Amino acid sequence: MTVYLVGAGPGDPGLITVRGLELIKRADVILYDRLVNPSLIDHAKGRCLKVFVGKAPSNHSMAQEDINELLVRYGREHDCVVRLKGGDPFVFGRGGEEMESLIGAGIPFEIVPGITSAIAGPAYAGIPVTHRENNTSVTFITGHRWDSSRVKDTYSSLSGTLVILMGASSFRDIGKDLIGMGYDPKTPVHAVNNATTYAQKVISGTLEEMRKKEIPAPSVIVVGAAQPAGGDAMWFGRKLEGIRGKRILVMRAPEQFESTRTIIEGLGAHALNGGHYELTPIEWDRHELESATHVVITSANTVPLLKDDLLANRDKSYVAIGPGTKRALEGIGLYAEMPDEYTSEGLVMLLRKIVKPQDKVVGLRSSKASNVLGSMLTELEYSEVPVYDIDFGALFLGAITEADVIFFTSTAMVNAIAHMVKDGQIRISIGPQTTAALKSAGIPPHMESAASTIESMIGAATDLIYQNNRK
């Protein structure tokens, strides 16, 4: 049994360490914070217990003492417990207190450092916290419970860059105190809000100006750093600017479209509805499900349609192709394994690993889905059962023709609108099967997302537009 204090990084899920992600996938229990990117939790195995212990300013879901007790309790009960903390566990993360509790209880532990937002936030804003010609030191300060009298004594001789975490709500007092300590009121200050995420914004001004502004949380506040080298240094902001204002076409079920629109509009882009698809249950042989040992679900759409059938067969081992499908199954109380790669190939690798020769696997899918899994799993007893039809109702032609970017989320979408796609529209594919359909239709995608999620498709579109703008 071991408790791992793991740094989740600053917000961008791609910045977690290889070791950290490996432990998330192995964990029996994960206790995670508010600033941990939710997509990291999606990598947990099906039967992992996920416990939210996050803290917001003036609103703690759980006291630190209670978190310490949970770590000790779960550490005694489980082989692999992950305490997933935003940034780095030891940079204002109270990881030291949690470590001391584990030592006191005799619980084995390991520390997995993470990339702290104190470094990553400024880096994503193009701000070097040290520079050989300007400032050769950097000091990290917590703005939480700012104590003016203590700070003046402790930091009276500071030089170089100051990086302040958890100081958004108290920066009026912090700025006043820094000026009182001798800082020039014209000292440059940058607040990087929601650092390293697609919602990142940078607020800049002099020390005198910034202490009078409302700084949103969470923000990394940088005082006195070397100035960014012009607009070219603001590389992440330039990347985000590329997708802002773009019209992105999405065609999904109504509830999925609304959640997708929220994400897209959060970037400053526009979500266009090209038409909703409708799912119609069809007759199928339920004996196939009842006789199976493993059930493969390749779309979250399957879950609400077959809820009663799935719950009546909760003794089966369920396998989901990706995090959206896994969340849908967990929403009705069914645990599911999930491959490391959210593709048919990743699913095949997982099934070959967990299915025994005497087992029977059934895949529940759309009538229009390809039989790619069946063709790849000839060595297993595997059958696919169509359980619903998928059809697009009215297509919104104006949205389809006006789109700057099209997110192709299924082969059905390719079949529905391939003949309407225009030159100049950026085509993003959700995965290999959709890519194959696009190629067959004579409109290969400009980029395929690394994972079969809307977030990954947004990342692919953002990268592609940024690359094109630099040419």
Strands 382-392 and 277-281: antiparallel
| Residue in 42, 88, 99, 166 annotated catalytic | 166
Q: Six-digit token pair at 174?
A: 């912090």
The sheet carrying 80-85 orders its strands as 49-52, 29-32, 80-85, 2-7, 109-112
Positive or negative torsion for Cα 69, 70, 72, 77: positive
DSSP 372-392: HHHHH-TTS-EEEEEEEEEEE
61 neighbors 55 (Cβ within 8 angstroms): yes
**Rounded to whole angstroms, how far apart are CA atoms 275 and 259?**
15
Burial letters for 124-160: b for 16+ Cβ neighbours within 10 Å, e otherwise? Answer: bbbbbbeeeeebeebbbbebeebeeeebeeeeeebeb
Q: Which residue in the list 12, 33, 42, 177 is annotated as catalytic?
A: 33
The dihedral sign for the CA sequence 358, 359, 360, 361: negative
CB 84 within 8 A of CB 6: yes
d(CA 435, CA 450): 12
Q: What does the alpha-carbon distance between residue 192 and residue 234 come to, in Å, rounded to a whole number?
A: 12
Which residue pairs from 229-232 have beta carbons closer than 8 angstroms and sit at least 24 positions apart in sequence? 229/126, 232/126
Indicate if 55 belongs to the active site: yes
Active site residue 166: yes
Among 281, 283, 311, residue whose Cα is nearest residue 295: 311
C-alpha 299: how far from its chain's center?
Answer: 19
Catalytic one among 45, 50, 55, 176?
55
Q: Which residue shows structure tokens 């099209």? A: 406
d(CA 42, CA 326): 8
Active-site residues, by number, are 33, 55, 166
